[in-house]
A and B are shown apart, each in its own frame.
Chain A
Amino acid sequence: MKLDFRSNRDFWSGLMFFVIGVAAIPIARDYPFGSTLRMGAGYFPTLLGAILILFGIYIMVKGLRRHEKIEGNWSLRALIMLPLSMVLFGVLMQYAGFIPALAVLIFWSAASGREFKFFEVLLVTVLLTVLSVGVFIWGLGLPYPLIKGF
């Protein structure tokens, strides 16, 4: 039996549930616990934390016995870049305005794919930005400044 748990998906799932449960209980203990008759704010989350710990252990053990591997391909690039494009959109909406936020979102998210053709992406960025301004700002009337400072 090889201890190859790095690609063992049940082990990692179980560990995740376990860690969340372990983290939730001390936080929930800060809230008034109350009694079964009159539950405080901490009762329900403590209970859930305990349930998560139990499930976590059970799933981890099952994983170590069954060795089911993680399937499918991982694109680390997509996993980091795509969520980041949303974060950038949020930041830019606040400081730069609708058009720059959109342009960066589209360009950045397109760049997180495997196939990246510069001119095609540029064209898509321009088209989608124009379309979005038309639909969301003029059509649906969302009250966002197109470019801040103008």
Chain B
Amino acid sequence: MELFNNLIFGFSVALSFQNVLYCFIGCLLGTMIGVLPGIGPMATIAMLLPITFTLPPVAALIMLAGIYYGAQYGGSTTAILVNLPGETSSVVTCIDGYQMARQGRAGPALAIAAIGSFFAGTVCTMIIAMFGPLIAEIAFKFRAPEYFSLMLMALVTAAVLSQGDTSKSLAMVSLGLLLGVVGADLNTGVQRFTFNITELADGIGFVIIAIGVFAVGEIISNLGELQERQVFTSKVESIYPTLQDLKQSIAPIIRGTAIGAFFGTLPGTGPAISSFSSYLVEKKVAKDPSRFGNGAIEGVAGPESANNAAAQCAFIPTLTLGIPGSASMALMLGALIIQGITPGPTVMTKNPDLFWGLIASMWIGNLMLLVLNLPLVGLWVSLLKVPYRLLFPAIMVFSSIGIYSLNNSPFDLYLAALFGALGFIWMRLGCPAAPMLLGFILGPLLEENLRRALLISRGDPSVFFTRPISLAFMIATVLILLTMAVPAVGKRKSSISG
């Protein structure tokens, strides 16, 4: 059994003292910062990224993965306890989770969320271990046209599924692609859009954009609120769900996991669409749909499992194809590149310790979250009460030192400040930043593959439509764009997110 050998190998890597420690630190830091209201998962990951750069690749990725699902989980905790969704994927958790909390059942809601997430995480670890190598095998046959079409599909999907106006999201993707052009041209060495600034010769660092837009921009936006948000935390009495709770949750957890695994694997889609779909499915199949919105435990169990399953399975396209499906996965990919690893199907053969170690550590991380979070609920509740005016200077300190430590260059801070202001303006103008970041990170790869594809085909653009796999991606891209043009679908999207 090759699968078992691979998993055992993965566990031997992940269970080394050092890697368990980094996994633990990642989960703890991720949850701790993710719980804080007003700090989204993107800001959390961006802020903590520079710390991981000093670690060896495997440890760095393990810690980052820990931060990633820790932040996801922390976001759900905030959603349930104070009705503040940290990001779109926990919007639906708020609906019934907060109602449960108001009825004094915050504990069982948190416990079910943790149990569902753990189940989803376990299943998805197996899915990645089983299907990762298969997908990588197919990906070895991909040439430049396939990669170009796949990236185009991922970018369009991410734009269409992001909140708000599709045309603005697509424009933001294009803007991200343009920002990715800055720096020396890979093929000819021509300096593009550098304006004779030497610091821009290697391009703009993705950490600078991420911290600027997501951490600084978010703070500026929060400071604009007229008064400090009052946080009403519900009391958490018993964390143990009743037998009835567990019985009611089993089916939603399984369905949610399946939905999340499906959407997570597709590039461009992700946790948000999974948790929405799961909620809608649970409401459909329920005997008494009127319970939803009034504290139905299925409304927490399903979406939370779907959320985590999608977050986990999002690693499949990132690790096997080198194509991230979401902004947070784009950060993961950027971290891989900084560590000197070329993303794509070769990761599995060239860095098996990284691939299998990371997969095994995901399961360990999920176990840690389950063990860590329930006993620490009290601590998270008290963290929620820290006033924002004390929090944001600390975020600024972390962000600024993190950026300075990249190149020891003050210029990076000026850039981050600029992107912070821009991030805030984009937020107010309803221009989503996540598709921009995805475009920025995929930009150089997209251009490279476009050039290569057209060189192979002697300048004939039909190459994207004559090769079957590439054609399939192109058709999918067009279909996704069409669904948005059909008003009924567009309306449903706004009714869910609104």
Give A residues with C-beta under 8 Å from B.
9-10, 12-13, 16-17, 20, 24, 27-28, 31-32, 35-41, 44-45, 48-49, 51-52, 55-56, 58-59, 62, 68, 70-75, 77-79, 82-87, 89-91, 93-94, 102, 105-106, 109-110, 112-115, 124-125, 128, 132, 136, 140, 142
Residue of A nearest to B412 (CB): A90
Known contacts A72-B221, A73-B225, A128-B394: does B181 contact A90 (CB below 8 Å)? Answer: no
Q: Does B396 reach chain A (CB closer than 8 Å)?
A: yes
**Within B415-470, which residues are at the interface with A (CB < 8 Å)?**
416-418, 420-421, 424, 427-431, 447, 450-451, 454-455, 458-459, 461
**Mask for B186-207, Cβ within 8 A of A = 1, else 0?**
0110101100000000000000
Q: How far is the CA of A102 from the CA of B400 in the complex (A)?
A: 9
Residue of B nearest to A11 (CB): B429
Residues of A close to B220: CB separation below 8 A: 75, 78-79, 82-83
What is the CB-to-nearest-CB distance from B64 to chain A, in angstroms, rounded to a whole number?
16
What is the CB-to-nearest-CB distance from A70 to chain B, in angstroms, rounded to a whole number?
5
Interface residues on B, range: 35 or more
Q: How far is the CA of A58 from the CA of B171 in the complex (A)?
A: 10
Q: How far is the CA of A44 from the CA of B167 in the complex (A)?
A: 20
Known contacts A44-B447, A106-B396: does B171 contact A59 (CB below 8 Å)? Answer: yes
Q: How far is the CA of A89 from the CA of B411 in the complex (A)?
A: 11
Residue of A17, A70, A106 touching B171 (CB-CB under 8 A): A17
* Cross-chain contact B393 with A132 (CB below 8 angstroms): no
Give B residues with C-beta under 8 Å from A.
51, 54, 165, 167-168, 170-171, 174-175, 177-178, 181, 185, 187-188, 190, 192-193, 216, 219-221, 223-228, 389-390, 392-394, 396-397, 399-401, 403-405, 410-414, 416-418, 420-421, 424, 427-431, 447, 450-451, 454-455, 458-459, 461
* Cross-chain contact B192 with A87 (CB below 8 angstroms): no
3 nearest A-B pairs in the assembled complex, by CB-CB distance: A37-B459, A90-B410, A90-B413
What is the CB-to-nearest-CB distance from B157 to chain A, in angstroms, rounded to a whole number?
18
Residues of A close to B451: CB separation below 8 A: 39, 44
Residues of A close to B454: CB separation below 8 A: 36-37, 39
* Chain B interface, DSSP helix/strand/loop, else mixed: helix
* Cross-chain contact A109 with B392 (CB below 8 angstroms): yes
* Cross-chain contact B178 with A49 (CB below 8 angstroms): yes
Residues of B close to A73: CB separation below 8 A: 224-226
Q: How far is the CA of A56 from the CA of B429 in the complex (A)?
A: 13
What is the CB-to-nearest-CB distance from A119 to chain B, in angstroms, rounded to a whole number?
13
Residues of B close to A71: CB separation below 8 A: 428, 430
Known contacts A48-B177, A83-B216: does B459 contact A36 (CB below 8 Å)? Answer: yes
Residues of B close to A102: CB separation below 8 A: 397, 401
Residues of B close to A115: CB separation below 8 A: 228, 389
Known contacts A35-B459, A36-B459, A85-B396: does B428 contact A90 (CB below 8 Å)? Answer: no
Residue of B nearest to A35 (CB): B459
Q: List 18 A-B contacts (CB under 8 A).
A: A13-B431, A20-B178, A24-B178, A45-B192, A59-B165, A59-B167, A59-B168, A59-B171, A78-B220, A78-B224, A82-B396, A82-B420, A84-B417, A86-B399, A86-B416, A102-B397, A106-B396, A106-B397
Give the tally of cross-chain contacts (CB within 8 A): 183
Residues of A close to B225: CB separation below 8 A: 73
* Cross-chain contact B174 with A52 (CB below 8 angstroms): yes
Using A59-B168, A62-B167, A124-B390 as known contacts, list a sample of 19 further A-B pairs with CB atoms less than 8 Å apart, ordered by residue number in A: A32-B188, A39-B451, A39-B454, A40-B190, A41-B185, A44-B451, A52-B174, A72-B221, A73-B226, A78-B219, A85-B396, A87-B414, A90-B411, A94-B410, A102-B401, A106-B396, A110-B393, A115-B389, A142-B405
Quick one: which of A27, A84, A128 has the most chain B CB within 10 A? A128
What is the CB-to-nearest-CB distance from B450 to chain A, in angstroms, rounded to a whole number?
7
Residue of B nearest to A109 (CB): B396
* Cross-chain contact B178 with A52 (CB below 8 angstroms): yes
* Cross-chain contact B421 with A79 (CB below 8 angstroms): yes
